[in-house]
Amino acid sequence: MAYEPEFGEWVREHFGALGPLEIKRMFGAAGVYSNGLIFAILGEGEVWLKADDQTIPALAAAGSRAFAVTGKDGEMTTSYWSLPASATDDPEEAVRWARGAIDAAMRRQAGKKARRR
């Protein structure tokens, strides 16, 4: 998966209503962070949003697909889903999906903290 910095700038503009975003390179791709919390991955010109049981049904209904990686044990899906195609031309819609991804990331983080106790 490759990340192009120009695509990162498009993401910053497209998701501008979220406020300042940090984009960090990772494994050839890049992570998108809001307030220190990763909620999206960028690669190959695609935005992959963090998803969970609460957001996956809506993402699937909107035509999104799960990000899959192929390893020695075959293909595995991740907890990231593509930004719906309709949101690539509509910043307001994109921000709504991104807020759902941020909420999913926050739920995930809260679950990790609860298990540590």
95: number of Cβ within 10 Å: 16
Rg (CA), the chain: 14
Fold category of 5-116 in CATH: Yope Regulator; Chain: A, (3.30.1460)
d(CA 72, CA 38): 27
Tens-digit pLDDT string for the chain (117 aa)? 677 889 999 999 999 999 999 999 988 889 999 999 999 999 889 999 999 999 999 999 999 999 887 778 877 778 999 999 999 999 999 999 999 999 999 998 887 765 555
8: Cβ–Cβ under 8 A, 6 or more apart, which residues? Answer: 23, 30, 42
Q: Which amino acid, one-letter code, is at 8?
A: G
For the chain, the domains span 5-116
Q: Which two tokens stand for residue 62?
A: 């909107």
